[in-house]
Structure formats: C-alpha cells, structure tokens
Structure 1
Amino acid sequence: MTELPLSAPRLDLLPRRAALPAGQDSDLTVLVRILPAEVPAPQGPRPPLNLALVIDRSGSMAGLPFNMAVQAAQVGLRMLEPHDRVTVLAFAQTVEQLLPPQFATDREALCRQVDGLSAGGQTALYAGWLDGAIAVAQHLDPRAINRVLLLSDGRANVGKCSLQAILPDVAGLTQRGVSTSAIGLGPHDDEDLLGAMAAAGDGNFGHIEDPAALPSYFEAEFSGLARTAAQAVSLGAEPHPALGPLRVEVHNDLKRTPRGRLRLPNLLAGQPTEVVLSLRVPAQPLGADAGVLRVRLAWTGRDGIRRRVWTPLALPVLAPEAYASVPENAEVRLALEVQRNAQPKREAARRLDQGDLRGAQATLRELEDLEQHLPREAGLTRQHDHRSRSKS
C-alpha cells in the first residue's frame, strides 16, 4: 500500500451498537465518516487567473440577490491583476457576453460594463455556465487557475435543470482543466444544485448574505485556496470472509464505479462525508472478537497521486443480556433516519424529471407522514448539517 501523507483523510467506522449478540443473527448499521485533511495555504504569489464571471440576471434574482450579484462581480473584477484573463457573461432565458476574454488592464472599465444590467426573465443557468466554461477552455493555461465563477440563486428552469443532467458535464469539464465555483445569493437559493456543481467542479461554494464577506471570499478564490482535499473518491465495503457471502446495504444515494465501489463526491476541507451501511451478521459464538467489515477508501490527492487506505471493524460478541445493555450510538441512529427519509425526496425528484407530477406529489405526501415520526433531533441535525456546509 502507498505510504500515506499527513494530508490523508481519516476514516472512522461507527457501529450503531458496539457489540454483537452471541448465538443469534443480528442487523448491524455502521456510519462511515470520512474526515478530510486541512488544505495548506498556498505559498508565494498567487497563480494567474483565466476566469469567467457568470451573472444570473433572471427574474428570481430581482432585488437584493441581483444587487449582490453585481456587487460581487465588481468586487472580484477590482481584485484582478493585469496578467489575469477574464470574461463576463450574464444570463436570463438567454446568455449575453458582456466582456469577451481579455486581460484585466483597466479594472474600472470592466466594472462599468456590469453597471447597466437589470433582472428579468427565466433562468438558463446551464447555458450560462456552459458558455463561461467554453470561454475559459478557449484560453486554457496549465499555469493558471482556469475557473468559472457562477453568481446565482441556482433556480434553473430553462434547458438542463436537474443535478443528474448538469453534474456529468461539470465533472467532464473539470477533468479537462476547467473548474467551477459558485456563490449562492438570496434566501431561497438552491444550495443542493450550486453546491453540487462546485463539488463536481473541484471549486468552492459559498452562500453569502453580507457584502462585507465578499473580499475575503475572492481572496481565497483567487489565491487558488480551493477546499478540495481529494478527488476521484471511491469507497468499498467488504464483509469479513469468515461471515460468508453477505449483502451490504447502502442507504445513501450513490452511484457505482465500474468496479462496483461507491463513487463519492470530492472531499472538501472542513466538511466530513458520511455513508450509512447495514448488513445482516450471522450468529457468532460467545466471547469472540468478530471481524465484521473492511472499508476501503481510495482517492487522488492534490499532488495527483492515487492512494488507498483500509479500515477494519471488529466487535466483541456478548451474551444476549449483556448485549441488551450496550447503548445505541445516537449519531448513527439519526444518520440512518435522515437517509431513510431522504429516499422519498429522491424518488419525487426522479418522478418530476420524468414529468410525473401526480406521482411526485404522492411521494412527497408520504414524506410528510414519515417526517412526523422522525425524531426531532434528526430533523435539527439534518438542517444544521445542510446549512453549515453552505455558509461562508
């Protein structure tokens, strides 16, 4: 196995109960928590930029969100250096190129090109992003940060709109050297879409409500301080061979790699990634320390090197009365409930993508019934986790 650097992520396996009952089959749930390493700050002068600023000027942005988008664009433009290349685009139902790709030799002149914009119309978010990515790709520079920066509420309704349709294209451009970051604007921004685009784009996502936060955001963005600690991440879970051929159930909505492992999003510094697994463990003899599971994490680091780490899980086998006194891990129980209650949302989204409005509504009604029985702590945990990943 490749020697692991200090920047390697940490892999924790948390069982719902830290034991197995002797002499009887049991259901075991395990929370796999991946803790990315911190990303070191870059040293020396920052690299040049090859940047596309893409501004959402659709009707849903009207008011403060749009004013913030214009202000954000101008803050970013004023922080450019003369050797940075920039293009500025704005989109509603169509895309307009305000500034063709050019070097930032006159920053105030660049800012004036943004002043006359107004908000109105539908939201062709995908087309705006794609035109920005094409502009960056036309001047791709291996020495530069080649990036699309999307300023939007993420409420796409023209062209490709769903995660399933947009993310493969974002990931494909990332592989070709064009990254994507996003700033979510407005109280109702679609953090799921914008955050997922930034993750697939090997960039950063920030939800910004205070204009005073913009300079620090752009300082990090332009310095190359991406929060991505690892990419091309996969996870494999193998039951211990002594247990025989067992099926491991995955509660998260994750795609598989060609080798059957789970495909995870990029690991972002400061943001744990969690996967919930369950399996049926056959009866074990009293007093043993039973090997249950081995989890394999593979990733490509910021240095381009592919690495792997394996973490095993073994549990003591107790008499049934002793096992009954082993407490549940509340974190694992809540993580399982959150994933189970997320399944109807995913099904509703799938039905909407297929045009099945009635089916989606029926699925959401089922979700409302489920959430009435979801422990209050689980709802709070889910809400806090969603917002804390998104704020800058």
Structure 2
Amino acid sequence: MLKLSYDFEQAILPGNTDLKANLLLRFGADLPQSPRRDLNLSLVIDRSGSMAGWPLHHALNAAESVVDQLEPTDTLSVVVYDDKVDTPVSPHAVDDKTALKTSIRQVRAGGITNLSGGWLKGCEYVQDNFDPQKINRVLLLTDGLANMGIRDPKVLTATAGQKAIEGVVTSTLGFGQRFNEDLLISMARAANGNFYFIQSIDEATEVFNIELASLRSVVGQDLVVTLELADGVSLVDTLSLAKVNPTDGGKTEITLGDLYEGEDRCLGLSLSLAAIPPGEFTVMTLHYSANTVQNGEVQQVTGSAEVVAKLGTVEEAAMAASSNIILELSHLMIARAKATALELAEQGKVQDAEQALQTLIQELEEKGLNEHFEIAEEIEQLKYFASRIAQRGLGNSGRKELRDQSYQTLTRNRKDLVGRGVEVGDEVSAMTVVNEVGSGIELQCFRQGGKLRIKALSDSYDAHKNVQFPRAIRAEGARYVVEGLELSKDGSFYRVQGKIVRLTKAGEVDNFATSYRSSPPKTGKASRGPASAADLPTTDVVGDGVLVQCVKAGSKLRARVVADNYEPDWNMRFPRSVREEGMLYVVDEIKVGPNGKSYIACGEIKRFVQPAVSS
C-alpha cells in the first residue's frame, strides 16, 4: 500500500483569523521487499559536431557504465544521431556486455542535430519491446539545439506526453552549455521522466548512474493525488513542480509521477484558510493512486485520507513552529522564488526579479535559517543570482544553473541533485591575488557531486567542515586566503570573516587570470593548407574552434560546417589540398562569404582525432 504523512509549517495554526498555511505532504510505498524490475531501456546519444572530442568520449564512457550495470533480463538499445540516425545496438538482451560495449566504442562525431529523429527511434525501440512489468524508458542526451527534423518545442513536448500515455517515459540529459534547457525540462515533465544538467564533461557517468539507480528503485508509477478542499479553504499555490488540473466538482488533480524506494515524493501546498475557531479542523480529503508491483504484477493501489489541522490561540501557535518542516518548506519556497525571478527577468522586469530574491533572503535571515548550512548555501545562491540578474549578466550558464536548481528541488527529494553548479564568474579573475598565506587562513574550492564546496587547508581548522563562502567567487581548484573563520552556532560549519583574496604561490600558473583564460584573437584571414591532410597538426579538442567535415557532393569534395547554429548546406572556401572524404577538421573561425550564402574558413586548420573510449 501507499503511505502518507503530512505536516503544517506550524503544528498549531492561529484560530479565528484569516491566514495562509503551508503544508508538506509526503508519499511513499509501504510494500514488502519486491524483486528488482527489469529495464527496457534505450540510450539516445547526440553525436553531432558540437559533441566532438571529450564530450562524446565521456558520453560513450557513461553509456558503457550503463551496460556494466544491466542484467541479462534487461533489454537495451543504443541510438546515436547527428543529421543521420544510426543504431549501434539494436534492442537486445544484455547477455554479451563486451560486444555491446565494443559497438558503443565505435561511435564517432558527425554533423548537426536531428534530435527528434534520434529520440523517436529510441521511443520506437522501447515501444516495440514494451512490457508492462518492466520499466520502459528512453534516456535522451544532447548538448545542442534541435535544428533538423521536428524543431517546434510544443510539438516535441506534446509528443513526449503522448508517448508517456502509451507507456514510454523519457528522461532528458542536457550536456554542456549549448542545449535548450526549456525544451528538455518540458519534455521530461510531459513524459513524467527526469531532467539532468551535466555541467562538466567528466560527470556524465555520475549523472547516468543517478538515473539508472532511480530506475532500479522505482516502486510505484503514475502517482496521482486529488484534493477535495473543505469549505473556507482554497489552494493558493503548489510549491512542488507537478501537473495540476482542476476537475469537476471543484476538486484538484495533481500528477506526481514515479515513486522511488527510500525517497519520499513530496508535495508542498500553500493554502488559504478562512477564520476557523480553535480545535481540530479537516482541511481536505486526499484521494491518491499509483501503479505498484505486488505479487510479481503491476497493480493499481488507491487510498484516501483526511488532512487535519490543529488551531489554537496566537500564543500557542507562536510556540508550535516545527524547525524541520520549516527547513523542508523553505527549500521549496526558495526553488519557486528562483523560477519566479527568472520568469520576471525574462519579461524585462529586472528590478522585480531582483527584489523577489532579496526579499526572500531577508525573510530567511530574519527567521535565523542561515544558521543551517544548506539554507545558508541557498542564501548564497540567491545573492549570486540576484546580483547577476540586476547586472543583466545571468548569461547562458547561469540560466541553466538557475533552472536546474529550481527543477531538482521542486521534483526530487535527493540532496545529491539540488544546489548543483560549477559556473565560474568573472569575479574570480578580478580578485586581488597574493603569493603567500601569511597570517591568514588558506581555503580551497572543490567540486563534490556537482557542487562547489569550500574547505579549510590551514592547521587548527577542521578540513571536513564546509565553509560558508560567497558563491560569486567560487571556482573549482581555486585557493583563497581569508582573515578569519567563525563557527556556526551549532558548530557544523564555518563562516568567512574579513577580507577574501585569491592565492597563487610564486612560480605557479594563475589559471583564473583574465589574460590566461581569454581566447586567442581571431585573425579573420582565410585559411591556407599544407600539401596534404597528413601534414595538418592534430587535436582531440574542439574548444573555441568550429568543427568542419569533408563530404562528397556529387563528384566534388565539399567542406561543410557540422556545428550547431550554422547552415549545413552552404559551401565553404576551404583549402583543396587537405580535403579528404569523411575527415573532420577544427578551424579557428568561420566567416560568412561576400554573397551571404557561403562560408570562409579562417585561421589555423587542425585535423580532428576522436579520443579513444576507455576499454
């Protein structure tokens, strides 16, 4: 059966007054230990030009790690796509892992991004092998934009929802900084799947493993909650990210998706209550249902429960706040504020967006919640995003962090998914730099589970404790010197005191200096080639360059740009001496030709060599 627990933000609410009350509902599965459900899984991987090099290398390593964790009773297919869609692994029982991994290892980067073609092929494979007793899932990984095939986000999102009705759920994984986070989040939400932001190329395997662990722990699917509110009670807001639909008779239906073993599915609600006398009052009746595995079969489980609030005097209510519930609800309110601020900023209401975040910061600090490390970290995130928005400098990477942080908090109850972010701002380069620690305290920034954490390196300080530190100047690997550290009231973490400077010792390269991090200037001069392609320098990194491929067009060899945001069919001025069919190149710069319908390769040309996938 399903289990339900709930708590109001205050154990006793003030009676005889109109009020707003926040409520946290938790759903879980109280089921006997059931065997692991088999998977019917399709991995759909972008191999377009923008994935060339280490991004694709790490994505393929991640795919191999999935193979290692599957069983012979699982079904796996692997689809790769650029402008073409290929199937290195057709739907197959995972009974020969070596052969499967060998097929994956042979994938190479290619052209532009036909996201819809690759994704729909993965859906087709899962549908063809659909089994209601299995978890039927497509994992779609992309680093780019849908610029071939079906490109309309509304159509892709609606199709994801339709596929979910047919039993095929899609989880989306955005890789790097070029992908469309709005599209991937919308597709995941419509399909009742999950969304992940793979922020750095080396964490692909980690994120794949989180999703695979989630699939293994699914104990219920299609959790739907219906609210039947009492007279005098109205729903002000849904604090969690869920599908909310009013139904006949004034009821509200909320779809929450999957239930995971050991992970409560949380639903935060903000309610308005009319003046109610002291005593117990039934705020609502809940009706809920989900599909769970019982006795080896998928069966629907239903239940109903009453949510009862206790009301008392103002004095009784003031003494009855529950700190744990306040913390959990605060995380949801912070996530909602982030989403609201982004929406306001993108409507041009920058001051309103900044004010929404600053007001919440003040409220959290007035409640003393900054004495809890995770909320203190969230406050630093809010300050960081408020500053970025005020300066109109949120940028692409900042936007992705903001959307990801909001999404993860509002959908999953996993600490390893919330608060992640590794963006390095310009503030790091602008910091004062010293060459020695002197009488200060040395700190260093580490990445742990996608989060930037600060630890003390100096003696006399506990290196295991986190340090509360401004988010704007965190950068993985950076070291700092501060004047002092102060323990939090509960002794669980440190706070920085005094001035902060960055540390680069004599003889060390300053990896965060502006001059070191900046790209070499573009020459704008048309490229010249050596006698043959064999004489070109090689590289396995695209970096700030542009990927080009030589293709056969009729009887001629043509150079084509295969990176996103370029026209794939335009001809290009490119040295004939180095053209070889199928070869990939990295050029410094691509300019539009004088006719406005062609390209010119500019600067140095290197031959691109695909990094070998680990065996």
Fold-level similarity (TM above 0.5): yes
Give structure 1 stretches of 5+ with no counterpart.
349-359
What is the alpha-carbon distance in structure 2 between the residues aligned to residue 184 and residue 368 of structure 1?
Answer: 27
- 1:280 to partner: Cα distance: 3.9
Secondary structure at 1:388 match in 2: coil
Residue 56 (1) aligns with residue 54 (2): no
Alignment correspondent of 1:299: 289
Distance 1:230 1:70 in 2: 29
Preserved contact between residue 41 and residue 76 of structure 2 (Cα < 8 Å): yes
1:135 aligns with 2:125: yes
Q: Which runs of 5+ in 2 are unaligned?
A: 294-298, 365-369, 382-404, 419-448, 450-615
Distance 1:362 1:346, change over 3 A: closer
Q: What's 1:249 paired with?
A: 236
Q: How much does 1:231 deviate?
A: 1.6
2:5 pairs with one of 1, 8, 11: 11
**Alignment of structure 1 residues 205-220 onto 2, 5 Å:** 209=202, 220=213
Counterparts of 1:103 and 1:130, CA distance in 2? 21
**Please, which of 54, 74, 77 is the counterpart of residue 87 of structure 1?**
77
Give CA-to-partner distance per residue, 1:336-355, whole Å, 9 cap, x none. Answer: 4543553354577xxxxxxx
Match of 1:342 in 2: 339
Which of the numbers 337, 355, 361 marks the counterpart of 1:369?
355
1:308 to 294, 303, 308: 303
Aligned counterpart in structure 2 of residue 278 of structure 1, from 250, 271, 276: 271
Residue 227 of structure 2: which of 216, 219, 236 is its match? 236
The question of whether the paired residues in 2 share the 8 Å contact of 1:204 and 1:226 is answered with no
Q: Does the Cα contact within 8 Å between 1:52 and 1:148 map onto a contact in 2?
A: yes
The superposition leaves residues 236-280 of structure 1 with CA deviations (integer Å, 9 ceiling, x where unpaired) of 1512x4x4xx43312446420544423232143214423222214
| SS of corresponding position for 1:36 | strand
Shift of 1:60: 4.8
- Matched residue SS, 2:87: strand
Deviates further, 225-234 or 207-216: 207-216
- Structure 2 CA distance for partners of 1:230 and 1:36, relative to 1, 3 Å: farther
Query: Match of 1:354?
Result: none
Are 1:28 and 1:280, in contact at CA under 8 Å, matched by a contact in 2?
yes
Code of the aligned partner of 2:235: V
Q: 1:258 and 1:237, CA in 2 relative to 1: closer, same or farther beyond 3 A?
A: closer
How much identity, in percent, do the aligned residues show? Answer: 23
The residue matched to 1:43 in structure 2 has which SS? coil
- Residue-by-residue CA offset, 1:133-191 (whole Å, 9 max, x unaligned): 012222334565543233445x54444575x6545433432332334345565589888
CA distance in 1, matches of 2:333, 2:95: 54
Counterpart of 2:527? none
Superposed, 1:1-392 pairs within 5 Å as 5=1, 8-16=2-10, 18-22=12-16, 25-37=17-29, 42-43=34-35, 47=38, 50-77=40-67, 85-102=75-92, 107-119=97-109, 122-142=112-132, 145-153=135-143, 156-158=145-147, 159-160=150-151, 162=153, 166-181=156-171, 185-186=175-176, 201=191, 209=202, 220=213, 225-239=216-230, 241=231, 243=232, 246-252=233-239, 254-256=243-245, 258-259=247-248, 260-269=251-260, 270-282=263-275, 284-285=276-277, 288-291=278-281, 293-303=283-293, 304-318=299-313, 320=314, 327=321, 330-331=326-327, 332=329, 335-336=332-333, 338-346=335-343, 360-363=346-349, 366-375=352-361, 377=370, 380=378, 383=405, 386=409, 388=415, 390=417
Q: CA deviation at 1:371?
A: 1.5
Q: Give the stretch that moved more between structures: 249-258 or 306-315.
A: 249-258
| 1:236–1:295 CA contact under 8 A, matched in 2 | yes
Larger radius of gyration: 2
Take 2:73 and 2:322, find their aligned partners in 1: how far apart are those partners?
Answer: 58
**Residues 333 and 137 from structure 1, CA distance in 2 versus in 1: closer, same or farther, beyond 3 angstroms?**
closer
Query: 1:90·1:96 contact (CA, 8 Å) conserved in 2?
Result: yes
Once residues 33 and 210 of structure 2 are traced to their aligned partners in structure 1, the CA distance between those partners, rounded to angstroms, is 14
Matched positions, count: 359
Structure 1 counterpart of 2:303, one-letter code: R
Give me the whole-angstrom Cα distance separating, in 2, the residues matched to 1:295 and 1:238: 7
CA RMSD of aligned residues (A): 4.3
Task: Report SS of the residue matched to 1:247.
Answer: strand
Query: How much has 1:293 moved relative to structure 2?
Result: 0.8
Q: Which has the higher helix share?
A: 1
TM-score (normalizing by structure 2):
0.48
The structure where strand makes up a greater share of residues is: 2
CA contact (8 A) 2:289 2:302 kept: yes
What is the CA distance between 1:53 and its match in structure 2? 2.1
Separation of aligned partners in 1, 2:10 and 2:72:
56
SS across alignment from 1:256: strand
Find the residue that maps to 1:373 and give its secondary structure: helix
